[in-house]
């Protein structure tokens, strides 16, 4: 949850998902950039996402990329279309299907809160 002007993001150890929006053209995206890839503007700002979205694609990972993920395999990854208009890759509930409405929950993985999207009401 957002606390005043503080933007929380799981990649810096807080439960939350941050995204960026261009003040000039309105384009939104997930991974932090210093400028807007659509119009080149430097007027970009971080915002707090609500953690709600819809599954765009999903895949089951049977062969994890490293030893530390082995005990979790098989697990599902998905591209999530967030309500704010950006797309991110994230862990998702194993049974999630394309089109499912999902909400972010956070699981602690090596002291970092990892977002895992769980199915919720449409």
> Where do contacts with Zn ion occur on this chain (CB under 5 A)?
22, 24-25, 27, 36, 38-39, 41
CB of 26 to Zn ion, least distance (A): 7
Q: Whose Cβ is closer to Zn ion: residue 1's or residue 25's?
A: 25
Output the DSSP codes for the chain: --BTTBPP-GGGTSS--EEEEETTT--EESS--SS-TTT--S-EEEEE--SEEEEEEEEEESS-SSGGGGGG-SEEEEEEEETTS-EEEEEE-TT--TT-EEEEEEEEETTEEEEEEEE---
Q: Whose Cβ is closer to Zn ion: residue 42's or residue 118's?
A: 42
CB of 39 to Zn ion, least distance (A): 3
CB of 27 to Zn ion, least distance (A): 5
Q: Whose Cβ is closer to Zn ion: residue 41's or residue 120's?
A: 41
């Amino acid at each position: 949850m957002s606390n005043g002007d503080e933007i929380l993001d799981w990649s810096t150890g807080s439960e939350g998902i941050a995204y960026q929006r261009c003040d000039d053209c309105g384009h939104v995206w997930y991974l932090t950039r210093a400028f807007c890839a659509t119009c080149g503007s430097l007027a970009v700002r971080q915002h707090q996402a609500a953690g709600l979205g819809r599954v765009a694609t999903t895949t089951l990972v049977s062969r994890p990329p490293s030893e530390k993920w082995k005990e979790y395999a098989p697990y599902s990854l998905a591209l999530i279309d967030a309500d704010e208009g950006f797309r991110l890759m994230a862990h998702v509930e194993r049974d999630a299907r394309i089109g499912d409405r999902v909400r972010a929950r956070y699981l602690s993985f090596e002291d970092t809160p990892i977002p895992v999207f769980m199915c919720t009401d449409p």
